[in-house]
Amino acid sequence: MRILGIETSCDETGIAIYDDEKGLLSHQLYSQVKLHADYGGVVPELASRDHVKKTIPLIKEALKAANLTPQEIDGVAYTAGPGLVGALLVGATIGRSIAYAWDVPAVPVHHMEGHLLAPMLEDTPPPFPFIALLVSGGHTMIVEVKGIGEYQILGESVDDAAGEAFDKTAKLMGLDYPGGPLLSKLAEKGTPGRFKFPRPMTDRPGLDMSFSGLKTFAANTISANDDSEQTRADIAYAFQEAVCATLAIKCKRALQQTGMKRIVIAGGVSANKALREELETLAKKVGGEVYYPRTEFCTDNGAMIAYAGMQRLKNGEVTDLAVQATPRWPIDQLKPIKS
Ligand code: KG4
Ligand code: ZN
């Protein structure tokens, strides 16, 4: 069985074709980063208009790359939320319409479930159960995962998401949007120990997190120091170190609380090398393992939507002719998949 996946929830148009026996057959990605860079952040209206231009050509490309005709596709999965409503509506409307034209089912997919399941596309997928640290531009949460759709949120950010904190701090440092990867690159040249940022909300029990204070701490540190390249790198290092250490402390608690040993990291910030290393160290200490997607599938992509869509399609979760776009959609409202 083959499914076409469409991702348009934010500033990336991602299309992929997934086969439940052969795996991923093709995937295409168009990033709108350049379009939004001048504005220092995603402009929702521009994002929607660009998805309108790119989605259908990329679907054609994906079919061509997989050497398939539309008649060989058995379902169409599209991101139905959470995300920017206009951007979601583009993928949802195109996905639903194509499914109608091809006379196959349409499957609405939860974007964060897509991220959570992205490591399943790798050669060594994580076995259930595990703790998932979902760290993207819009969400930061720790989820206890017993199976597909069996999600319990153990903690989440009460303000900025980790990726958002990276981007806002990067902006303060004069880096382009999205600044997360650029800040992380700058941090590579940083001197450990020159600055020390706080580890927010680690002095009290629980798994909730807060990252907006780190941005303020960064702003104060920037204005109190010179703006040499080395100082900027040292600040970037201290900021990144604080985010990673905080996430690791919370993950450690989640492992202790649940008795689990496996950690999955997914979402844009899971591409961050320092975070991966920090969690590898934690896992080693507890005799556990860390899993994450290949770098290109950490950030938004169509492959994770096609994969999640396939699981939902096999579970019979198809919609009628409705176009579903749900900008706010808690992940723990999803249905467990009967195995
Ligand atoms: O998952 P994603 O592509 O989009 C959302 O669903 O939000 O995540 C994008 C976020 C951005 O905030 C970006 O700066 C961050 O992930 N990001 C990183 C890195 N790569 C992407 N943050 C830190 N280090 C990275 N290497
Ligand atoms: Zn995402």
Report whether 191 contacts 230 (CB < 8 A).
yes
pLDDT tens digit string along 276-329? 999 999 999 999 999 999 999 999 999 999 999 999 999 999 888 999 999 999
**The predicted structure's pLDDT at residue 54:** 98
What is the position in ligand 1's atom list of the atom closest to the CA of 178? 14
Nearest atom in ligand 1 to the alpha carbon of residue 170 is 14
Average pLDDT across the chain, whole number: 97
The answer to whether the annotation marks 286 as part of a ligand binding site is no
Mutate to test the pocket of ligand 1, among 184, 296, 299, 329 (most ligand atoms within 8 A of CB): 299
Ligand 1 atom closest to Cα of residue 267? 1
The per-residue DSSP string of 221-288 comes to: HHHTS---HHHHHHHHHHHHHHHHHHHHHHHHHHHHHHT--EEEEESGGGG-HHHHHHHHHHHHHHT-
- Take residue 10 and report the two structure tokens written for it: 């934010």
- pLDDT at residue number 119: 98
Q: How confident is the model at residue 338 (pLDDT cuts 50, 70, 90)?
A: confident
List residues, by chain if needed, whose CB lies under 5 Å from ion ligand 2. 136, 300
Tokens of 56: 């259908």
CA of 333 to the centre of ligand 2 (A): 18
pLDDT surpasses 80 at 207: yes
Instruction: Look at strands 262-266 and 289-291 and give their pairing.
Output: parallel
Shortest-distance Cα residue to atom 21 of ligand 1: 268
Ligand number, closest to the Cα atom of 268: 1
Q: 225-262 pLDDT, tens per residue?
A: 999 999 999 999 999 999 999 999 999 999 999 999 99
Alpha helices in the chain (DSSP H): 33-37, 44-65, 85-102, 111-117, 162-172, 180-187, 212-223, 229-258, 273-286, 302-314
Residue 171 has pLDDT above 70, yes or no: yes
The conformation of residue 167, written as its DSSP 8-state character, comes to: H
Structure tokens at 218: 């960064």
For residue 48, what pLDDT band results from cuts at 50, 70 and 90?
very high
Kindly state the percentage of the chain with pLDDT values over 70.
Answer: 100
- Ligand 2 centroid–CA 268 distance in Å is 6
Ligand 1-lining residues (CB < 6 angstroms):
10, 136-138, 163-164, 166-167, 178, 180-181, 184, 267-269, 271-272, 299-300
Which region holds residue 217: left if phi is over 0, alpha if psi is between -120 and 50, else beta?
A: alpha
pLDDT number for residue 339? 66
- Determine whether the annotation assigns residue 135 to a binding site: yes
CA of 339 to the centre of ligand 1 (A): 32
